[in-house]
Structure 1
Amino acid sequence: MPTITPTSFFEGTGTSMEDIAPLRFFLIIPKGCKEDYQNNSIWMAHAIAIFEE
C-alpha cells in the first residue's frame, strides 16, 4: 500500500496541507485492496470514495 504523508501532494510546490485542508479525493485502487485502504485511518480521512479496478 502506498504511504500518504502531509507533504505527499505538495512537495516542491510551496503549498502546504493547511492551505487547502481538508484535502479530499477519490481513490482508484487495484482489485482486492479495498479493505486495506478502508482500515487505514490516514487514507480514509481524505477519501471521498474508493473504487477498485
Structure 2
Amino acid sequence: MATLKPTTPLQPLMQANVKPPSPMLAPEQRPLKPPSPLQPKNARKTPISRPQR
C-alpha cells in the first residue's frame, strides 16, 4: 500500500482507502461518504484535542 501512495493519479483513490483506518467499524460510511464524515471529524478534533500542534 505504501508503494501505491506516491502515485499521483491514484492519490484521490488511495486517500479514500487510507482515510478509513477502521473499515470494520463503519463499513456503511465508506460507500456513503468516507471523506465527508472522516474529514470534518478529524479536522475538528485536531485543533481541539491538541491546540499546541
TM-score calculated relative to the size of structure 2? 0.28
Looking at secondary structure, tell me which structure has more helix per residue: 2
TM-score calculated relative to the size of structure 1? 0.28
Looking at secondary structure, tell me which structure has more strand per residue: 1
Q: Work out which of the two has the higher radius of gyration on C-alpha atoms and give 1 or 2.
A: 2
Q: Using CA pairs below 8 Å that are at least 6 residues apart, which structure has the higher relative contact order?
A: 1
